[in-house]
Structure 1
Amino acid sequence: MLLATLIHRASLPCPKIGPELALQLLEQHYDLTGALQSLGSQQDLNYRVDSDRGRFVLKICRGDYDAVELQAQHAALKHLQGQPRTRVPKVMPALNGEELLTVAVDGQTVHLRLLDYIDGQPLTHLPHLGREVIAGFGRLCGQMNLALANFTHPGLERTLQWDPRHANELIHYLLSTLENLPHRALIEQMAAQAEQRVRPLAERLPRQAVHMDITDDNVVWQRDEQRHWQIQGVIDFGDLVHTWRVADLSVTCAALLHHAEGDPFAILPAIQAYHAVNPLQPEELQVLWPLIVARAVVLVLSSEQQQRLDPASPYLLKNAEHEWEIFHVATSVPFELMEAAILTCVGSGLPPVASEGFAPLLPGLVGREFALIDLGVLSPHFEAGNWEQAGIDQQLLQEAAVAHGLAASRYGQYRLSRTQVDSFEAPETFPLHVELRVPQGTTVEAPFAGTLHTGADGALNLHSAQLSVRLWGVKGLLQSGAAVLKGQVLGETGGALTVQLCRADVMPPLFCTPSRALAWQALCPSPAALLGLACDAQPELDPEALLARRDASFARSQKHYYVDPPRIERGWRNHLIDMQGRSYLDMLNNVAVLGHGHPRMAAVAARQWSLLNTNSRFHYAAIAEFSERLLALAPDSMDRVFLVNSGTEANDLAIRLAWAYSGGRDMLSVLEAYHGWSVAADAVSTSIADNPQALSSRPDWVHPVTAPNTYRGEFRGPDSAPDYVRSVEHNLAKIAAQNRQLAGFICEPVYGNAGGISLPPGYLQQVYGLVRAQGGVCIADEVQVGYGRMGHFFWGFEEQGVVPDIITMAKGMGNGQPLGAVITRREIAEALEAEGYFFSSSGGSPVSCRIGMAVLDVMEEEKLWENAQVVGGHFKARLEALIERHPLVGAVHGSGFYLGLELIRNHETLEPATEETTLLCDRLRELGIFMQPTGDYLNILKIKPPMVTSRQSVDFFVDMLSKVLDEGL
């Protein structure tokens, strides 16, 4: 009887009632007219109704369904109406007062129901769901289960094809009827394994009323003002049934797999969130993954059957893609791994391995001391990118063995050599094994009794009922399949030995990704007990605890990137590396022009530190040599250099020079600009992104002029210079009318803080002339945009065809060493002497000067200016191509390696896409890219990578940017 009911239910096609007939039914039974939109379903028919009385959902299902089942749904909806945080539809009565109508239409009996419509959208179409959304599904599922825990109704005792209690019978039936089924062998294998794992625990699983369809189709969401998804309600109670409680979560998790981008571990936040609100029992945790796999099997089989019943249905065809994706992700990993992942993610785990009875694997080396080689991210063995060399870990182990006799790697130490650059996938850096270097001919013995097998990869595998040990580098003495006693000789080593212990009958990898490390560790514990060797890696500092320590001691106004920043302790060229060995593409670090970890910088700094580092009032050659080098880069009219520690100091000093030379204090600065944090530099900074109070806290000696933003400013286009100059003229007239002496004008020659926007042609020529005519000096703030970063010109002011009176610079001058400079003319420099001498304790120190010269040398030798021009040109072209493809992309600013990508919601109004930009940066970080927003609306990607950035890195960045824009923000 059960199988017959399942067969009948699984074979029901969707009712054949078109929109015209559905409108007739609406008018006849509900006195409603309006526009209909099909919502799609596998076996039911759903229409959205837009009427003058509101929006509703007309649900039509076949008369084969018992009325009591539909009445149970209505009762559940009423039961949930009063529950917090769980919005569900209301049932609308027909003209006769009934909530459920059974009518005959064109020779078919159907049930009619009308529900109110919950505004929002399902997330089925989104290829990627963020961690918070995935957790939201799990939390909702847990809350729904709690809300329905005490709900009962006769209609819940039904035979439903989606009920996992009947999955095995349904699968066997569908397999017997579907010919030419794709992946049949794998389907059969996975179904059998799932059933084998569920059956022993089935009777102990808690049961209750469950929704059974809390999926991306049946939960509707809306974005809030910050563009974060918020749940609006749960719809479609058509699968409501009394069954195992955990079945509900299995359905939710299975649905999430088609958003997982191939990684089944993506569903773990849903399980954690469910468990936090509605704790799962141990048996439920154990069967959860097998139920997910069984659900995936039922989905693809049912989909195949429905498509053969209704091959023209676009809904079924589209859903089939998702369901096969779910199946492929669900079957991509061993059952044991996901069961371990589920247990560990909720704070449970597998029982520890009983290691007390092990015999020594290498009895001849018991008590001998091994050199444990550091192969981690901070290893002193790694420098200048040598970890990129093939076989570097093995080379280091061999060198240590030659020096010390015995050497070993550490189990569980994230390997720097395994990092991958320009990759959106986390690298497999976590070792689930230990590598040893021992004397050739060392005897290897069985640590426990078992059966010996030789793998295709040459490994010896010793299996017992509970454990297996895998050995590479052993010349075996026994035949494959031999029974082995504890302590029996297995063979001897050739000098290099790799050891892996595993508790399950799976074939683990030698390395895994950090996200899978806890689960694989549970299955592949350390072989330290077999080796008699304390070879486990020291646990890393808890990143949250370390961040808390920072916040407790480091002034919090000194912000960090990201809410939960990765711990970065190493860099190489244009990548930064976290403690788990993941390399992030650095697209925002304009300080490290030469890239990170440059060996020339390390050598020059070390050499000079070993000689002398002091202040600039001592006499040494480097300060003269570096000053001469800087003047050689400056316009011919400039002949004096000040050396300081930062761009803030440089701009502060430039303002003091303007005051001293002009005799006045009034300064013109440009709106939306940032010049530093000191009192004077902050005073002329007007960027509200950096200081929300910037416009209301300016002192009376600062006169902001209209930002010459040719893209979204008051005047637009390349011919707007005269319009923006009028703001300068107005402020100059106001200063003159008050009989105040103008000190000067400070401006970035390319609008760096606003995203690298070029000033309108001729702007600075006109402004510089007006300022000089009134006795002021012109300061070019080149801290961000100068020093060759723009590619086609060394200084930003060259694009405008002007020569300033003062140049300020810093950032890349020292490739991270605190170093800044002010270059000017002698008469301006000496005007400061009337106010006393100038001194910067560390500015121009021997170390800073030597590093500054080394930066210039490397830039020339490695042709970094040319790289900024060539690769930077390719970069801008690729970014500009996004404008036609993605509506959110408004414009690309800048040149070389100083670019800005401006995101907007409307191409007419240029409404800033501020929240979308934040989400984009967070998502890029997940894909292995560091990027941050800029501009007063924080809607511009400020792209200023190290000048060693390659074409490969550029293409990776743009490809990932396009991918995220495709995902929807």
Structure 2
Amino acid sequence: MPLATLIHRASLPSPQVSAAQALELLEEHYGLSGRLQALGSQQDLNYRVDSGQGRFVLKICRGDYSTLELQAQHAGLKHLAEHPGVQVPRVIPAKNGADLLSLEVGGQAVHVRLLDYIEGQSLTHLDHLDHSVVAGFGRLCGEMDLTLAGFDHPGLERTLQWDARHANALIAHLLPVIKDERQRALIAEAAEQAERHLQPLVDKLAVQAIHMDITDDNVVWQRDSQRQWQLQGVIDFGDLVRTWRITDLSVTCAALLHHAEGDPFYILPAVRAYHAVNPLQHEELLALWPLIVARSAVLVLSGEQQVSIDPGNEYSRDNLTHEWEIFRVATSVPLELMEAAILTAVVQSLPSIGSENFAPLLPSLVGREFALIDLGVLSPHFDAGNWEQQGIDLRLLTEAASAHGLAASRYGQYRLSRTRPDCASEPDTFPLHVALRVPDGTAVEAPFAGVIHIEGENLLQLDGPELSVRLWGVAPSVRSSAVLVKGQVLGSVSGPLIVQLCRSAQLDAPLFCTPSRAAAWQALCPSPAVLLGLACDAEEELDPQTLLARRDASFARSQKYYYVDPPRIERGWRNHLIDMQGRSYLDMLNNVAVLGHGHPRMAAVASRQWSLLNTNSRFHYAAIAEFSERLLKLAPDNMDRVFLVNSGTEANDLAIRLAWAYSGGRDMLSVLEAYHGWSVAADAVSTSIADNPKALSSRPDWVHPVTAPNTYRGEFRGVDSAPDYVRSVEHNLAKIAEQKRQLAGFICEPVYGNAGGISLPPGYLKQVYALVRAQGGVCIADEVQVGYGRMGKFFWGFEEQGVVPDIITMAKGMGNGQPLGAVITRREIAEALEAEGYFFSSAGGSPVSCRIGMAVLDVMEEEKLWENAQVVGGYFKERLEALIDRHPLVGAVHGSGFYLGVELIRNRETLEPATEETTALCNRLRELGIFMQPTGDYLNILKIKPPMVTSRQSVDFFVDMLSKVLEEGL
């Protein structure tokens, strides 16, 4: 290799050509004039040209560059243009017909070219790219390599500093540019490791023409109408070369690492996508990560070198931060782990281990029965949050051993005890070992021949030809570095025993890993079951996607679920939900579970009553009277009758029937943008187009929607808008009167729940209630979402308006998840229905429901949850409101207590709803461990209604993550 050429090319500054000189070149040679905008480049000079004839890119490079290389780039562009697929720039010929001009500008030799400009933007400035975009980069790279496989040109045979074949030489030459000794040593060590892994593979790596710069700088994207990134084209073919094919993917993956938030596994969607369109050889897969590490070293060295020789190059200086981050992430994990991760990502495996001839590790226990302890997410041993107790797993193992003699955990069973609430990153819940409790003094023997190493007082490691076994809790009877034969005693059990296998003696494997890294670590640290003679591997969990497919095949699909690929949730505790891999998600949308999930009082009360009796409310039992009395104590003084049902829909449906019976009419006023339920009557008065896109066109003639009194984005704005909104009510009442129809009533959420908890304008309900009653109608307060203490300052939402309704409906949190709803009203209204026949709800007011309902009220009082809604809810709103000044997308914060809404907008003047951004934000929050969903007719409001046990810690976590996502860009 001509090292001198390589060194020379790595040390060139960009050409010094001013904008004025560039404009002269354009006018003279291309007949163009216009505005110029400098574009970044490390060693070239690029200008965007905005002219009357369109947009172009003027590329100026040093005359040192070979014209043959530049002609190869042009030929490559032409080759790609002839193959349908990704858009690439077209070369614009000069007035003399040449597509390449070699000139002298200001005393320096340069090459000049003009290319089409591809509209869009690069993504290098974004902190986070979602997995679909990462996969898009990999797919593009694979398709590009497929197309270029049939392309050749003499100019591809070139010596280029970025060519991975020269990485070692370039690194050795540029290392002195790093003045910090520690940093220099880190780079040298990383490069040496990468070279050592790469050398046995190089002769088997496929060679072809590649772009070698498909990065977040050189791929152009645009957002579509759904705010999803769509690929537009590829630019900058300056690194086109004939070299190892796998180099192309390594360059792409390395560039993605500065978006990875420290996680090198972030690149795997790109690897899978490339492999799906352009299958990689086994040797290429093994070479990929060493090439990425080498690339990261070249990036930082070249970047530091370029800044030192061209300090005015902002592009190079700004990129240095990214390049050091790429190096940090690329060297943050062992090479062996990433090799395993890449192989398993494309469903390839490491060589099998011949374990048939292993001797038993605990020969005296062969054939003995072990108690295999369930420490997983659904374990019956875990209850009421006891898994959060320090050392719970070991304690359960010890208790089982005391009862059964021998006990063991399961390899690969996700541990509930290792879940981490209010945490954005995955917990390390996957055990790469087996823990055992066996009698102290039990002999431990070498399962294979090898060398023993004793580290400290706890760890023994036996290194054999294929495997290492690591043991904790063994008192050694041999010396460190001793060579053992198979079956030789190496010590005796001296406490809790931990057994781990590993393919590499040098690999510092953890005892636990995260779910996303489990497949790779399993390949490196297989189950020690064969050494123990024990069937201790975790049972294979049902794949969430398979289970979802079963749901879709049997459960009516109009009953939607959250998220496109929802995690499987089977356990909850307080204000968190836990998936089958032990990850805790902050529940910010579950207003059903007011007391939180898994409350022991609920379990005890339900269990006790189920063991006694559960039947329908026509039987005589104490609970129904006791619960009804408790509810009436919470209601206004003039209310004295209770109906018990199963849901908010039933409650609202019944309230409408009561209005009909009492008034003698049918016509109902309801408010636009509202949701009241799914039954025929409740749906009829529901006007939310988010829940039913045809809501406004499918109302029956007895429903009269009035203008939504939305003080933020409604027809009238501000706190003084009540009279303006009341006019809509007056208009509809006049229309009903003109038609000589009897008004039945008016139904409204006293706080606009479906719009994120917006308060109605002061005085609105007082005026409307008076108008409705004057025409013989009744006033229904739908408190299903906003009542029962959730708003903090008031127990009932209607209290904020200073009114008393005729009928109150409630449900949701009444039963903390138990189907339970209620209607509270006055005796004369209740008895009006009796004239039309009996009312009966089979399960409404059952003994179990009533006991649970009373227990909810007891716990709310004992745990001061209403006070928590006021204090922590108030703090919550303050923190959310602080986001308005920091993030333009946040338009307003509605509500109070634990019923809040964050409205996202694109323009603070027009209030254009940020619908797609809200969806993207909710999906991103889910990745960070938070469940959140949009609401409102435009689905641009975060509907925040968590369990009322939510703590300040959870509030801080939510707001911090919300701010983080807004800063990432949506």
1:476 is matched with which residue? 476
2:12 is matched with which residue? 12
The answer on whether the counterparts of 1:373 and 1:407 sit within 8 Å (CA) in structure 2 is yes
Deviations 1:494-546 (A, max 9, x none): 13100000012301000000000000000000000000000000011011110
* 1:179 shift after superposition: 4.0
Q: For residue 955 of structure 2, give the secondary structure of its aligned residue in structure 1.
A: helix
Equivalence map 1:369-768=2 (5 Å): 369-456=369-456, 458-504=458-504, 505-768=506-769
1:909 is matched with which residue? 910
Separation in 1 of the partners of 2:371 and 2:20? 81
Equivalence map 1:235-250=2 (5 Å): 235-250=235-250
Amino acid corresponding to residue 33 of structure 2 in structure 1? T
Equivalence map 1:156-195=2 (5 Å): 156-176=156-176, 178-180=178-180, 183-195=183-195
Separation in 1 of the partners of 2:60 and 2:480? 63
1:365 is matched with which residue? 365
* 1:357 shift after superposition: 1.0
Separation in 1 of the partners of 2:456 and 2:141? 45
Amino acid corresponding to residue 909 of structure 1 in structure 2? T
The answer on whether the counterparts of 2:178 and 2:184 sit within 8 Å (CA) in structure 1 is no
The answer on whether the counterparts of 1:593 and 1:948 sit within 8 Å (CA) in structure 2 is yes
Moved more, 772-781 or 312-321: 312-321
* 1:178 shift after superposition: 4.7
1:813 is matched with which residue? 814
Matched, 1:62 2:62: yes
Separation in 1 of the partners of 2:483 and 2:655? 83
Amino acid corresponding to residue 8 of structure 2 in structure 1? H
2:857 is matched with which residue? 856
Separation in 2 of the partners of 1:252 and 1:693? 46
Moved more, 326-335 or 475-484: 475-484
1:129 is matched with which residue? 129
2:96 is matched with which residue? 96
Separation in 2 of the partners of 1:456 and 1:821? 65
2:141 is matched with which residue? 141
2:37 is matched with which residue? 37
The answer on whether the counterparts of 2:177 and 2:304 sit within 8 Å (CA) in structure 1 is no
Separation in 2 of the partners of 1:845 and 1:533? 49
Separation in 2 of the partners of 1:170 and 1:615? 82
1:334 is matched with which residue? 334
Deviations 1:553-587 (A, max 9, x none): 00111000000000000000000000000000000
* 1:454 shift after superposition: 1.7
Separation in 2 of the partners of 1:49 and 1:4? 36
Moved more, 304-313 or 673-682: 304-313
* 1:455 shift after superposition: 2.4
Separation in 2 of the partners of 1:916 and 1:407? 51
Normalised to the residue count of structure 2, the TM-score between the two structures is 0.99
Amino acid corresponding to residue 29 of structure 1 in structure 2? H
Q: For residue 326 of structure 1, give the secondary structure of its aligned residue in structure 2.
A: helix
Deviations 1:342-386 (A, max 9, x none): 000001111222110111100111111000000000000000000
Matched, 1:224 2:224: yes
Separation in 2 of the partners of 1:793 and 1:569? 33
The answer on whether the counterparts of 2:42 and 2:313 sit within 8 Å (CA) in structure 1 is no
Q: For residue 559 of structure 1, give the secondary structure of its aligned residue in structure 2.
A: coil
Separation in 1 of the partners of 2:82 and 2:766? 70
Normalised to the residue count of structure 1, the TM-score between the two structures is 0.99
Q: For residue 835 of structure 1, give the secondary structure of its aligned residue in structure 2.
A: coil
Q: For residue 487 of structure 1, give the secondary structure of its aligned residue in structure 2.
A: coil
Separation in 2 of the partners of 1:253 and 1:806? 62
Q: For residue 755 of structure 2, give the secondary structure of its aligned residue in structure 1.
A: coil
Separation in 1 of the partners of 2:501 and 2:815? 49
* 1:180 shift after superposition: 3.7
* 1:82 shift after superposition: 2.3
Deviations 1:177-220 (A, max 9, x none): 65446611111111111111111111111111000000000001
The answer on whether the counterparts of 2:814 and 2:821 sit within 8 Å (CA) in structure 1 is yes
Moved more, 40-49 or 568-577: 40-49
The answer on whether the counterparts of 1:921 and 1:932 sit within 8 Å (CA) in structure 2 is yes
The answer on whether the counterparts of 2:177 and 2:301 sit within 8 Å (CA) in structure 1 is no
Separation in 2 of the partners of 1:190 and 1:218? 27
Deviations 1:758-816 (A, max 9, x none): 00000000000000000000000000000000000000000000000000000000000
Q: For residue 743 of structure 1, give the secondary structure of its aligned residue in structure 2.
A: strand
* 1:311 shift after superposition: 2.3
Separation in 2 of the partners of 1:359 and 1:339? 30
Percent of counterpart pairs with the same letter?
Answer: 81
Separation in 2 of the partners of 1:920 and 1:454? 50
Matched, 1:355 2:355: yes
1:773 is matched with which residue? 774
Deviations 1:434-458 (A, max 9, x none): 0000001011011111111122573
* 1:98 shift after superposition: 0.7
Amino acid corresponding to residue 79 of structure 2 in structure 1? H
Moved more, 625-634 or 160-169: 160-169
Moved more, 573-582 or 73-82: 73-82
After TM superposition, which residue ranges in structure 1, 4 or more long, deviate above 6 angstroms? none
Amino acid corresponding to residue 889 of structure 2 in structure 1? L
Separation in 1 of the partners of 2:541 and 2:559? 25
Deviations 1:821-863 (A, max 9, x none): 0000000000001111111000000000000000000000000
Moved more, 348-357 or 201-210: 348-357
Q: For residue 772 of structure 1, give the secondary structure of its aligned residue in structure 2.
A: helix
What is the CA RMSD across the aligned residues, in angstroms? Answer: 0.9
1:212 is matched with which residue? 212
Deviations 1:663-705 (A, max 9, x none): 0000000000000000000000000100111111111100000
Separation in 1 of the partners of 2:455 and 2:808? 68
The answer on whether the counterparts of 1:429 and 1:580 sit within 8 Å (CA) in structure 2 is yes
Amino acid corresponding to residue 385 of structure 1 in structure 2? G
The answer on whether the counterparts of 1:442 and 1:495 sit within 8 Å (CA) in structure 2 is no
2:279 is matched with which residue? 279
Separation in 2 of the partners of 1:785 and 1:100? 70
Separation in 1 of the partners of 2:476 and 2:872? 54
Q: For residue 586 of structure 2, give the secondary structure of its aligned residue in structure 1.
A: strand
Count of matched residue positions in the alignment of Structure 1 and Structure 2: 969
Separation in 2 of the partners of 1:500 and 1:641? 62
Separation in 1 of the partners of 2:84 and 2:803? 66
Separation in 2 of the partners of 1:359 and 1:10? 57
Equivalence map 1:299-310=2 (5 Å): 299-310=299-310
Separation in 2 of the partners of 1:179 and 1:752? 61
Amino acid corresponding to residue 224 of structure 2 in structure 1? D
Separation in 1 of the partners of 2:177 and 2:900? 60
Separation in 2 of the partners of 1:105 and 1:312? 20
Separation in 2 of the partners of 1:680 and 1:575? 35
1:3 is matched with which residue? 3
Separation in 2 of the partners of 1:199 and 1:161? 19
Structure 2 gaps of 5+ residues are: none
* 1:176 shift after superposition: 4.7
Relative to structure 1, the CA distance from residue 457 to residue 894 in structure 2 (aligned partners, 3 Å threshold; closer, same or farther) is farther
Amino acid corresponding to residue 725 of structure 1 in structure 2? V
